[in-house]
Amino acid sequence: MCNSEKQLFAILATLEECRAALVANGNPETARLVSVAALDLRMKLGRISEDELIALCEAAQPTAASVVHTGSSLHEAGPVPRRAQARARD
């Protein structure tokens, strides 16, 4: 691991500490912004592309047959877009 990567991992750890402190002090919106910055840094460190992240998020979403809880009742979920699958076929 090169020196610049070590620095980025240290920055990532600091961002996570800041996020936790923001949540603990009642600043969830700002904590979400810091989380986005941490995610962006993780993607760079892990060499994960935006397309790969989108595909992962879409794969983790419930399928059309899944049941979604909304309020006090249950509803069938609608179809989930599968842009990543469409890209793979292109």
17: pLDDT strictly greater than 90: yes
- What is d(CA 1, CA 44) in angstroms, rounded to the nearest whole number? 14
What pLDDT digit, counting tens, does each position of 54-64 carry?
888 888 887 65
- What is d(CA 44, CA 54) in angstroms, rounded to the nearest whole number? 15
85: pLDDT strictly greater than 90: no
- pLDDT computed for residue 55 by the predictor: 85
Q: What is the pTM of this model?
A: 0.58
Angle of CA points 59, 64, 66, to nearest 5°: 90
- Residue 46 gets which letter from DSSP? T
What pLDDT digit, counting tens, does each position of 64-74 carry?
545 454 454 44
The domain segmentation of the chain, as residue ranges, is: 1-48, 50-90
